[in-house]
Amino acid sequence: MPGRAAFDRSLARVTASAALLLALAATGCAAQRGEGPLDVALGLSRSETARALRHHDFCPRLEAASEEEVYPRCDRPGAGFGAAWVVARYDGGRLVRLQRFERWTDEARAAERWNLLIEKRAARTPVSQEARARLLARQPIPDGTRSWAAFRAGDDLVGVYLLRPATADGPSILEEILPAR
């Protein structure tokens, strides 16, 4: 029955095409998720933190656990214009501070990226003058800060800073999550 065989081949091609489209869509969603603001709560264990950061496309290094661990951007296809890494600080095995650094070689791209982070975070929770005052009371703003915004994220404070890098390999953006205490 030649008609049936042709139909089966055609159906197989359509199914394969649909699977490819779904895979590409999932990859696109993962890339977008990695570009958004960090939504990692403080107080997580090391394994919970690693799992949460993996959702943002940051992977743990294979080294002994310490009070401060660096999570570089996971390998991903395509060329990027910037580099990113996360520094997680632990006390008693629990996450107490999280910082994402991004390095951009182009100042305009860095400003565009910072604006995007502010816009996406503000879609979740508004910019907060109270959070800004609390951050200023806890610590000085980073050297070279050109602009910054502060947010409340549950019991945590979030600062997002646009920086003027002090060195060629210095960060252009810092997003940090601190306890509000």
Contacts of 2 (CB under 8 A, 6+ apart): none
DSSP 163: E
For residue 40 the two structure tokens come to: 């990692």
Contacts of 63 (CB under 8 A, 6+ apart): 69
Neighbour-count burial for 95-117, b at 16+ CB within 10 Å, e otherwise: bbbbbbbbbbeeeeebbebbeeb
Buried b (16+ CB within 10 A) or exposed e, 48-57: ebbebbeebb
pLDDT tens-digit series, residues 106-142: 999 999 999 999 999 999 999 999 999 999 999 999 9
Q: How many other CB atoms are there within 10 angstroms of residue 143's CB atom?
A: 9
Distance CA 77, CA 34 (A): 13
For 2-49, write each residue's pLDDT tens digit: 565 554 555 445 444 433 333 333 333 334 445 789 999 999 999 999
